[in-house]
Chain A
Amino acid sequence: MLDPDNGLSLTIARIVQRLKGSSLHSQLERQARISLHKPEIKLESLKEDIKDFLKTSGWEKKLQNAVYSELNVFPSPCHPAAPPEHMKEPLAYMRKAQGSWEKRILKSLNSMCTELSIPLAQKRPVSEQKELLNKWNEMGTDEPDLSLFRPVYAPKDFLEVLTNLRNPNYENGEQPSFRSHLGLIQVPLKVKDIPELKEDFSELGLNIGQLGIDDSAQVPPEFFENEHVRVGQKVLAEQDSAAAQQYVRQGCPTALRADLWALILNISNQPEDILYYEQLKSNVIQHDLLVDSLIYKDVKLTASNDDYYFVFEDYLYQVLLCFSRDTSVLEHFTYSSATPPKSYIRGKLGMEEYAVFYPPNGVIPFHGFSMYVAPLCFLYHEPSKLYQMFREMYVRFFFRLHSISSHPSGIVSLCLLFETLLQTHLPQLFYHLREIGAQPLRISFKWMVRAFSGYLATDQLLLLWDRILGYNSLEILAGQQLKYRAFSFSPGSCCVCFPSSQPDGGDITGCSRSCTC
């Protein structure tokens, strides 16, 4: 057990280290120096006066937001003596499973590479560079031959791996009883039960106003809305990340959402950020990566065919191609159970000095990956800001949806949470579905992996993502299918929403109507 003081000082030390040398640091220093010219700053009380100045000029708030952001992203250190892999993933069997999964993906990628005789990376000839630069804003009109490429994996492949996960230390031999878990996930992870969920997600209770919930709410919607907008504007004026995060738990008004999300994720699109994005863009122009073709293919298969997102096809290339080359994304591997794949310069296999991460950001896209970016296009139309918002969303949330870990927001826990909720809350439905050979997780898995992007109308998807940001957790995804108000327990207010338009779902909507809960 770590005593609270130790934990706190470790955290402080880590945050100080991370913020040292950041642009915020130099800006604060600069501001402090500028303030020396001000009459209210007196030599006798220099330190206090500067502190006051930073407070009134809003710079303290910026520092607060940066600290808050660090706290949200990095988990608290477990123990000073714990090895770094414990921050990635404390459970050994999970680490092992993730390692094997990664090996499989890399093997798949390498064999595609060999089959097609395409290098993983190569420099573009100057003429091609020129052409790409001209076409930068309309890469969607390009029609490269992608027929030989296939996605490295699809969500269903990943589900098979998760279904076979077992904890070797856990004896599962006892007779199945009413307590056994009847779903696909058979690992004994701790997930929240309904009373805990009710407490943690208290803002979603029936007695509290919401945006985007049906009008059976007890709070009259119009009254709530006007007041909520007013409060939102105030939160934005204060520029307080923590307040914004609390606020969006009840949903964002459309007009305020873009700014609120940027405030929560602490994205301000400074000149150096724009410069960084431009640098990534020039990397794209100069070098061609194999994963680029995977990205093209994915966009063409998913977003280009989507009623809502086809319009933004070109933006998706501009974001994802840059994302693949962004080495700052490698930072997130310190707290992700995943490890970036390594590749070697041609002819130097196994020689560590010639090892590079591949792709440079360590993230191999899978089928549907581009749908993580698409909804953000409704909010941000400036490429560098769109890019930063996506990158931050990825390193805070989305990475957990396609890696194996025991984290409460990891996909394994979400699956288990979903199955547990369903089994507890709608047992008849659950047993019935199992009976007809339709494990509910098989259908809802791909929705959760995509954070519902492409499966919900955009306005509702954004309301869902409001809550992800608000609670800094993906658990809401498990509950989405049971509607936000499932925690209210009143009969008839919970239902399982399976789209009847889905080929596998056709049977199930029929069933859910005949089952009572």
Chain B
Amino acid sequence: FRIMAGKVKWVTDIEKSVLINNFEKRGWIQVTENEDWNFYWMSVQTIRNVFSVETGYRLSDDQIVNHFPNHYELTRKDLMVKNIKRYRKELEKEGSPLAEKDENGKYIYLDFVPVTFMLPADYNLFVEEFRKNPSSTWIMKPCGKAQGKGIFLINKLSQIKKWSRDSKTSSFVSQSSKEAYVISLYINNPLLIGGKKFDLRLYVLVSTYRPLRCYMYKLGFCRFCTVKYTPSTSELDNMFVHLTNVAIQKHGDDYNHIHGGKWTVSNLRLYLESTRGKEVTNKLFDEIHWIIVQSLKAVAPVMNNDKHCFECYGYDIIIDDKLKPWLIEVNASPSLTSSTANDRILKYNLINDTLNIAVPNGEIPDCKWNKSPPKEVLGNYEVLYDEEMAQSDGPDRDLRSRSGQSTGVKGNRARDSGKPVLTTWK
């Protein structure tokens, strides 16, 4: 009989071909969650159960899962903002140069999340801020939803009367996460390309939070709105103009199934270098790397750094017309649905490279390993930040190399400055 020992046993509750094809090509064996499994690619609902106080169970050393138990510290909009605010205050308290502020009281290096308040809890604080700038537009997002669901724009206080009432009566009413919203200053001066608004989706793999080790997928993409962007107030209701989520764009009239309104990050880079110059483009990309790492550092202290866990996040970033990147949100379950052929290839390779790093050699894992994969298996990932290596280079490395804090990214940039080896046919 065939010896099955040594083959990774996998389970998933997400029926996506990009996942399953990757498991099968490694010769892994599919099992159910009640059997002995080594690898479970689970949805966020399932991870809640695995680690919950009542229904949870202990994972053994040869089991890995694809989420951290309390990932929501980063991936829930309100908690992400809360953690970043706390992180900044801590740095300020300890007198770190990173927390330096400018003459207007804005953080120089750590102002990368648009002004955000929780509703209904911070309603009054929000009103104060709103009145400073009464012509501003704000975006309301439900804390617990994804894919652009339930999002709307407001530019008048009357549009959120409901939350004002709730805040007054909130002392005894416990907020279910369904009703909680965050309200953020809407970035009404996004960088437009071809007159179109877009956002950036970048994939970041975290293998451990303490020490922090994270990787950035080189093949991120821009998602363009199918309808022309106008900041005019009459268009506030037209979600096709404002939201770049593919789930929403797909239903617009102009959605194209060949390119899906997506551009590669390398196209973005080529366009920006050609029209704005190399220095500002490099600065932009450095800043993007910076804000990703800072967001991870912000949640690292509160993350349950369970050794059985790794996680691949989908970062959503918007660039404004001054070429400043803003962190909009982080997704724990980035969509694995493919909207175009290119998309399918990208996501397939993403999972492939992720598995190569998270499950070394494709063999039955041992959680006690040092989580330090050799360079050759990184595939399209590059090291974004490796705390261990950074620390060995000196304690004030953070500030000195603020624009290139990782050991991998800046070095790679010089080398892959766009010199193709083979002619790239389409």
Question: Chain A: residues with CB nearer than 8 A to chain B?
Answer: 137-138, 140-141, 143, 211-215, 221-222, 225, 253-255, 257-258, 304-308, 310-315, 377-381, 454-460, 462, 483, 497, 499, 501
> Would you call the interface of chain A mostly helix, strand, loop, or mixed?
helix
* A456 & B274 in contact (Cβ 8 Å cutoff): no
* A214 & B259 in contact (Cβ 8 Å cutoff): no
Give the chain A neighbours of B426 by CB distance below 8 A.
307, 454-457, 499, 501
Give the chain B neighbours of A137 by CB distance below 8 A.
195, 228
Question: CA–CA, A457 to B264, complex, Å?
Answer: 12
Q: Is B342 an interface residue (CB 8 A)?
A: yes
Question: CA–CA, A337 to B120, complex, Å?
Answer: 74
Residues of B within 8 A of A (CB-CB), count: 37
* B424 & A456 in contact (Cβ 8 Å cutoff): yes
Question: Chain B: residues with CB nearer than 8 A to chain A?
Answer: 193-196, 224, 227-228, 253-254, 256, 258-259, 261, 263-264, 266-267, 270-271, 273-275, 277-278, 281, 342, 414, 417-426
* A140 & B425 in contact (Cβ 8 Å cutoff): no
* A314 & B194 in contact (Cβ 8 Å cutoff): yes
* A379 & B263 in contact (Cβ 8 Å cutoff): no
* B418 & A254 in contact (Cβ 8 Å cutoff): yes
Q: Shortest CB–CB separation between residue A264 and chain B, in angstroms?
A: 16
Question: CA–CA, A149 to B423, complex, Å?
Answer: 35
Of the residues A141, A212, A378, contact of B420 by C-beta under 8 Å: A212
Question: CA–CA, A304 to B258, complex, Å?
Answer: 9
3 shortest A-B CB distances, which residue pairs?
Answer: A499-B425, A457-B424, A138-B228
Give the chain A neighbours of B228 by CB distance below 8 A.
137-138, 140-141, 314
Please give me the residue from chain B that is nearest to A454 by CB atom.
B426
* A305 & B259 in contact (Cβ 8 Å cutoff): yes
Question: CA–CA, A306 to B261, complex, Å?
Answer: 10
* A311 & B421 in contact (Cβ 8 Å cutoff): no
- Give 24 CB contacts A-B under 8 Å: A137-B195, A137-B228, A141-B227, A141-B254, A212-B418, A222-B414, A225-B417, A254-B278, A254-B418, A257-B274, A258-B274, A305-B258, A306-B259, A307-B259, A307-B342, A310-B259, A311-B224, A312-B194, A315-B195, A379-B274, A456-B425, A460-B420, A460-B423, A497-B423
Q: Shortest CB–CB separation between residue B219 and chain A, in angstroms?
A: 13
Please give me the residue from chain A that is nearest to B279 by CB atom.
A255
Please give me the residue from chain A that is nearest to B420 by CB atom.
A460
Of the residues B194, B258, B281, B423, contact of A483 by C-beta under 8 Å: B423
* B194 & A377 in contact (Cβ 8 Å cutoff): yes
* A215 & B419 in contact (Cβ 8 Å cutoff): yes
Of the residues A305, A310, A501, contact of B425 by C-beta under 8 Å: A501
Give the chain B neighbours of A315 by CB distance below 8 A.
194-195
Give the chain B neighbours of A213 by CB distance below 8 A.
419
* A458 & B270 in contact (Cβ 8 Å cutoff): yes
Please give me the residue from chain A that is nearest to B224 by CB atom.
A311
Q: A141-B227, A212-B419, A378-B274 are in contact. Are A305 and B193 (CB under 8 A)?
A: no
Give the chain B neighbours of A378 by CB distance below 8 A.
270-271, 274-275
* B267 & A308 in contact (Cβ 8 Å cutoff): yes
Give the chain B neighbours of A314 by CB distance below 8 A.
194-195, 228
